[in-house]
Structure 1
């Protein structure tokens, strides 16, 4: 099997089913690991890439230095199918729509799936070119405590209601023609990076 390394720094091959979990990971925690393991299983993925963002345009304050967050992610997650990546910094992209377009251009034939928690689905319509993202690749949504109702009633869920795939068919998501999205309820850890930052403690992650 031939794996190709491009300007993204990722070793991927055509035909692979690859989940993309984006975020600032400031700091990374066990909740990120849990959602990743669930996504691998529920969506039948070959890889999950943690796209550690240089910065989140929706957040008013910048995150910790990228190098520190990458190091923390790599220290936390130890799984042969999980890749921690600085692809956005390499590509010079900060908005998800542009990152996805660049990754798809750099890795033709890879079946990318955008992954997110239900809390992100609830406010997804605020993202830059959100409808373009939904049309670009399948989206896997994993429920988090307290976010199920707002996510199911979100603008994105309403606009793309006809594109929703049943949870029973979740393992087919990566091969689906977009727009396609799947909402799955999974056991979740009630953790957030913002709560950990508020405690000023990374040691429990």
Structure 2
């Protein structure tokens, strides 16, 4: 089984997130996508963070694809960092092939994540294009550090067969929706 892991604070979740998930499922040939709603993001201001239960309910409301499973297991693990979550997921599911899914906007700051290089060495990564971030796959620190491990997006369906580090950048339809913009408009 091939499973995409799509994590984020989803504060709030929106159709742009759903589009990233749908593109990942289709282009990577995923059997499932685990939409992982995180309790918090150490790199973001927690003062504007909606309650976890609310973000889970909103995520479930916009994800109609039966391949998508909304979860908040990171809270159950009691971990705060993606690297720790992924290590736990890998240990508990040795027979599943995982791909870490991220929007290109996250790729720009990926090098600021705790143990970001360890994350890149844990699972293959699929970076999905987002408005304003298309060129991040050329200029980001992660892209430069792991340039040797990049596969062409035409080969995205075999990404799960690659040993990490391996990654691809997937172009496609993009949504201009942004959680930050949605929060600001609601203020």
Looking at structure 2, the residues matched to 142 and 59 of structure 1 have their Cα atoms a distance apart, in angstroms, of: 21
Looking at structure 2, the residues matched to 65 and 94 of structure 1 have their Cα atoms a distance apart, in angstroms, of: 16
* Deviation of 1:169 (Å): 0.4
* Deviation of 1:150 (Å): 3.1
* Deviation of 1:129 (Å): 0.1
Say yes or no: does 1:200 pair with 2:161: no
C-alpha offsets along residues 57-110 of structure 1, whole Å, 9 cap, x if unaligned?
001224111111111111121111000001101111110000000111111111
Cα pair 1:45 1:174 within 8 Å, conserved = no
Aligned to 2:125: 139
TM-score by length of 2: 0.96
Determine which of 34, 42, 51 is the counterpart of 1:49: 34
Cα pair 1:24 1:53 within 8 Å, conserved = yes
Determine which of 46, 60, 72 is the counterpart of 1:61: 46
Say yes or no: does 1:111 pair with 2:97: yes
Looking at structure 2, the residues matched to 112 and 195 of structure 1 have their Cα atoms a distance apart, in angstroms, of: 31
Aligned to 1:101: 87
Paired residue secondary structure (1:116)? strand
TM-score by length of 1: 0.88
Q: 192-201 or 117-126: which moved more?
A: 192-201
- Give the gaps of 5 or more residues in structure 1: 1-15
* Deviation of 1:119 (Å): 1.0
Determine which of 21, 33, 37 is the counterpart of 2:22: 37
Give aligned pairs, total: 186
- Give the gaps of 5 or more residues in structure 2: none
Cα pair 2:137 2:169 within 8 Å, conserved = no
C-alpha offsets along residues 160-189 of structure 1, whole Å, 9 cap, x if unaligned?
000000111010011211100000111111
Q: 4+ runs of 1 displaced by more than 3 Å?
A: none
Structure 1 vs Structure 2 CA RMSD: 1.1
Looking at structure 1, the residues matched to 39 and 107 of structure 2 have their Cα atoms a distance apart, in angstroms, of: 21
Looking at structure 2, the residues matched to 163 and 154 of structure 1 have their Cα atoms a distance apart, in angstroms, of: 14
Cα pair 1:137 1:178 within 8 Å, conserved = yes
Paired residue secondary structure (1:165)? coil
Paired residue secondary structure (1:115)? strand
